[in-house]
Structure 1
C-alpha cells in the first residue's frame, strides 16, 4: 500500500512507517496531521488516481521534529563594479512519520 501526496509544493511517495522530511508544517511535535492532498493511492485491490486529488483520501502522519537544513551560501557579485553580497540561508523542515493511508 502506498500513496503519492503533495505538501509544500513537492510530491512524495509514502508508505506506512516511512519517515519523511517535508517543508515546515504548522503543527506541534508529537501531534498528528492529516494530509488530504493525495494525488494517487494504491492498495492490494485497486489503484486510484485523482483529478487532481483522490476524493475522501487522506494520509495520517505524526510530527517527529522541526529543524533547519544545511546552510547554503548565496554569493552575488558584479565584475569590475566593486559589488559583492554574501548571504546564508537555512531552510526550515518538519520530519514526519506516516501512520496510515485511508481512502
Structure 2
C-alpha cells in the first residue's frame, strides 16, 4: 500500500515505515503529525485518485529530526562592472517516518 501526499508545495510517494525528508515543519521532534492532503491511494492494486484530494484518507507520521541541508553557494557576477556577491544557503528540513496509511 502506498499513497501520494502533498506537503511544503511538493508531492511525495510514501509507504509505511519509510523515512522521508520534507520541507521544515513546525512540530517538535518525537511528535506525531497527520497529512490530510492525500492525492492518491493504492490499496493492493485498487487505485483511488482524488479530485483533488482522496476523501477519508490520512497518512500518520512521526517526526524523527530537524536539520539543515548541505550548503550551496549563490554567486552573482557582472563582467566589466566590478560587481560580485557571494552568499551561502542551507535549506532547513524535517525527517519524518511514515507510521500508517489510513483509507476507508
Shorter-chain TM band: over 0.9
Distance across 2 between alignment mates of 1:6 and 1:59: 11
Name the CA distance, whole Å, in 2 between partners of 1:10 and 1:45: 24
Provide the secondary structure at the position in 2 that maps to 1:26: coil
Asked if 1:49 is matched to 2:49, the reply is yes
What 5-or-longer segments of structure 1 have no aligned partner?
none
Instruction: Confirm or deny that 1:19 pairs with 2:19.
Output: yes
Gaps of at least 5 residues in structure 2 are none
Extract structure 1 runs of 4+ deviating beyond 4 A.
none
* CA shift digits 1:41-60 (9 cap, x unpaired): 01126221001110121100
Matches of 2:80 and 2:86 in 1, distance apart?
17
Query: What's the counterpart of residue 90 of structure 1?
Result: 90
- Comparing both structures, which one devotes a greater share of its residues to strand? 2
Instruction: Please provide the CA RMSD for this pair.
Output: 0.8
After superposition, the Cα gap between the structure-2 partners of 1:47 and 1:76, relative to the gap in structure 1 and judged at 3 Å, is same
TM-score, L = length of structure 1: 0.97
> Could you tell me which residue of structure 2 aligns to residue 62 of structure 1?
62
Counterparts of 1:97 and 1:50, CA distance in 2? 23
